[in-house]
Amino acid sequence: MIEKDDDINISEITGKTLYLNRREFIASAAVAVLSTKTGLSYVRNQDISTNEGQTSFDVVANYNNFYEFSMGKTDIIDLAKNLKVRPWSVSVEGLINNPRVYDIDKLLRLFPLEERIYRFRCVEGWSMVVPWLGFPLAELVRRCQPQSSARYVEFVTLHDTRQMPGQRTNVLTWPYVEGLRLDEALHPLTLMAVGMYGELLPNQNGAPLRLVVPWKYGFKSAKSIVTLRFVEHQPLTTWNVTSPKEYGFYANVNPRVSHPRWSQAKEHRLGEFTKRPTMMFNGYADQVAHLYTGINLTRDF
């Protein structure tokens, strides 16, 4: 049985240990308490953020991959402007002891929000630096109480051909599905993003809820999520099914593994004129390389 989030008891919202740990983080980190125009408050997590210059909001808002609307990049902002993101429900289900259906706005109030400035790298070779606003996926995972047989988290996105014209084509199999190993989902860098640049997410950037995994290519960051499902076996993810020779399940940024049609050794940071070398794991190797000990990252790309 999946319970509605209206049934949440106050004592369930944040466990005491987690609450105290979060208080300790807020007290010790160099953070600034800010408030969005929408009334949400958050802390800026400077310790986990890159100090690289941010890509301008106009660039990030106007240049997107979102095949549910279009295969283009600059027309999505117009095609997505009427996407209805309220009301919005997110179902958390599968091999967990605490399945629920969350209203998106109540979900936002369950966990303290953070701003994190992350590098973002697309498999096509362009990159950007974005100040995301969200909460660690790990906090939601722990609240769900995964069963011992749960090994992966599957993310399913909205399927609505009336609102998403790109889904009227067969360029991909719909709905869009992505997945992470459970330990990847639990990693402190993995973020459920609800906003950017101090505002709620624009429709074209994955409103109202998207995944951000900064050491992986952008296609791993599923947009407009409606379901998180805990499963035992590796999910059949959209791009891996569509073109397995080009898009692996892991999608880790690895400049030594070329896409069959282009090199991944360099990237074009949007707003810059020259290309820069691509960093292993998008520059997050110190934090995440241990997750892949013993794995052949050329074969399991």
298 occurs within a structural domain: no
Residue 259's pLDDT is: 95
DSSP-assigned letters across all residues of 182-195:
HHHHTSTT-EEEEE
- Other Cβ atoms within 10 Å of 76 Cβ, number: 25
**Ramachandran angles phi, psi of 215, nearest 5°:** -90, 5
Spatial neighbors of 239 by CB under 8 A, at least 6 apart, are 172, 219, 246, 247
Q: Are 99 and 1 in contact (CB under 8 A)?
A: yes
57 occurs within a structural domain: yes
**Cis-peptide into 208, omega within 30 deg:** yes
How far is it, in rounded angstroms, from Cα 32 to Cα 18? 21
How far is it, in rounded angstroms, from Cα 57 to Cα 232? 39
Residue 30's pLDDT is: 42
Helix (H), strand (E) at residue 137 = helix 137-144
How far is it, in rounded angstroms, from Cα 294 to Cα 301? 13
Tens digit of pLDDT at every position of the chain (301 positions): 655 555 544 333 334 344 345 444 444 444 445 555 567 799 999 999 999 999 999 999 999 999 999 999 999 999 999 999 999 999 999 999 999 999 999 999 999 999 999 999 999 999 999 999 999 999 999 999 999 999 999 999 999 999 999 999 999 999 999 999 999 999 999 999 999 999 999 999 999 999 999 999 999 999 999 999 999 999 999 999 999 999 999 999 999 999 999 999 999 999 999 999 999 999 999 999 999 999 999 999 9
Count of domains observed in the chain: 1
Select from 235, 267, 245, 244 the least CA-distant residue to 254. Answer: 267
- Residue 161, SS3 per DSSP: coil
How far is it, in rounded angstroms, from Cα 126 to Cα 218? 10
94 occurs within a structural domain: yes
147 occurs within a structural domain: yes
**Cis-peptide into 131, omega within 30 deg:** no
Residue 20's pLDDT is: 43
The residue segments making up the domain with residue 249 are: 3-292
| Placement of tokens 């969005």 in the chain | 36
How far is it, in rounded angstroms, from Cα 113 to Cα 42? 5
35 occurs within a structural domain: yes
The CATH number of whichever domain residue 182 belongs to comes to 3.90.420.10
Residue 40's pLDDT is: 76
Residue 39's pLDDT is: 72
300 occurs within a structural domain: no
Task: Take residue 92 and report the two structure tokens written for it.
Answer: 């958390």
301 occurs within a structural domain: no
What is the β-pairing status of strands 225-231 and 152-157? antiparallel
Q: Are 300 and 184 in contact (CB under 8 A)?
A: no
